[in-house]
Amino acid sequence: MISWLFLAVSLWGAAFTWNALFPITRGMRISAVSFAAGWLTSELALHHVAWQAAATLVFGLAGAFGAWPGQIGLGITVLSWLGLGMAQIRAARAGRVADDALREALGADYRERVLPERREELGDRIDWRRIVQPLPLRTADVERVKDIRYARERGIDLALDVYHGRNPGSNRPVLLQIHGGGWVMGSKNEQALPLMFQLAAHGWVCVTVNYRLSPHATFPDHLVDVKKALVWIKENIAAYGGDPNFIVVTGGSAGGHLAAMVALTPNDSAFQPGFGDKDTSVQGCVPFYGVYDFLDRSHAWPHDGLQGVLEKQVLKGSRDEIPELWEQASPLSHVHAEAPPFFVIHGSGDSLVPVGEARVFVKALREKSREPVAYAEIPGAQHAFEIFHSVRTVRVNQAVERFLAVLHARYALAQRGEAKPAPLLH
């Protein structure tokens, strides 16, 4: 009996490993299951090896290997470990892929353009204590100011958090983080924490915001709220040590969509009801695994799951009923020559948002924008891969910080009258 149980456990573990290596993207429900099963496995491959090894030892001591089902299970388990090793090796490639993307967009010497006083912060070292304990626990050198109200909409208080170093100084670059969750769930409390802690510890001021969620909210309510948060930042962030004139926006999934919309629609009165005179421009955008075309003009989606969510909960109408809103809500429709610099990041193993979304969006940006457009397609990365510390998260976040440091150096030099334009990508 113990041998058969071990065989079943081995098959179960091997299925998770297989799914991490070869995620399923067909069909809304099965792709969601594939994401749920593969997300932690692909990011915490070594942790899975550790617990499987412990379980295997327990089964071995219980005599599971004395019969042929247990022996087959042991073979399957060893193959599963090899697969997890492959997943870890693939994750380690993220740093090279991201660095190549920056070299292509910014030039091979891009690291030399970082301000000298910031170069020491941009190392390639991995803190393995973070990898072993992946949850983004609070760090002593970063302070979080919680639940600052920036607006009130339809009886709902909208709040934001500010992260900064214990000695914030003044005129520090600012990052605006927008959470994901399919426009219907999520909050400012749990996403992009590794990136914000990293940047805040290195002198940035990071702001993460809540916004109204569907089905209570109907687009563009989500975007309007984020733009109001941006206005609040420009008017108040100096009190927390931030520079209101240098703000970069980022976000993942639905947050990636909203980040791209913020970057591409500065001062657009259609998304700024009652505050159309306020400046909502940003100096850069780093969207993670975002949705960029609600109309799916490139046929990147293998199923109609997104269409159903948008139609029933977010836009509250079909493409035939309200085609203008579907068009208006798509970042792809707003690409233009004056777009700020972009660093688009998407995983090749994303089960929830197809990587084709990013490829088409980047192509359009590169054809029209006068600014650099970097694109890193991270090998094997699932949706939401960077929510907690992993080798892949660390490597990608290091690249993001280097990209932002180059943008900030260009801004700082311009302030001194010494600006040198970054090479363009065409």
Report the catalytic residues.
Answer: 253, 350, 383
Per-residue 3-state assignment (H helix, E strand, C coil) for 334-369: HCCCCCCCEEEEEECCCCCCCCHHHHHHHHHHHHHC
Q: Coil, strand, or helix at residue 243?
A: strand
Q: Which helix (H) or strand (E) covers residue 175, if one does?
A: strand 172-178
Strand order of the β-sheet with 205-209 is 142-153, 156-165, 205-209, 172-178, 242-252, 284-288, 342-347, 373-378
In this structure, what token pair is assigned to residue 294?
Answer: 């609600």
Which among 303, 316, 368 has a CA at the least distance from the CA of 337?
368
Whether 383 and 36 have beta carbons less than 8 Å apart is answered as: no
Distance (Å, rounded) from C-alpha 344 to C-alpha 364?
A: 12
Phi-psi region of 380 (alpha: psi -120 to 50; beta: other; left: phi over 0): left
Q: Which helix (H) or strand (E) covers residue 147, if one does?
A: strand 142-153
Distance (Å, rounded) from C-alpha 7 to C-alpha 16?
A: 14
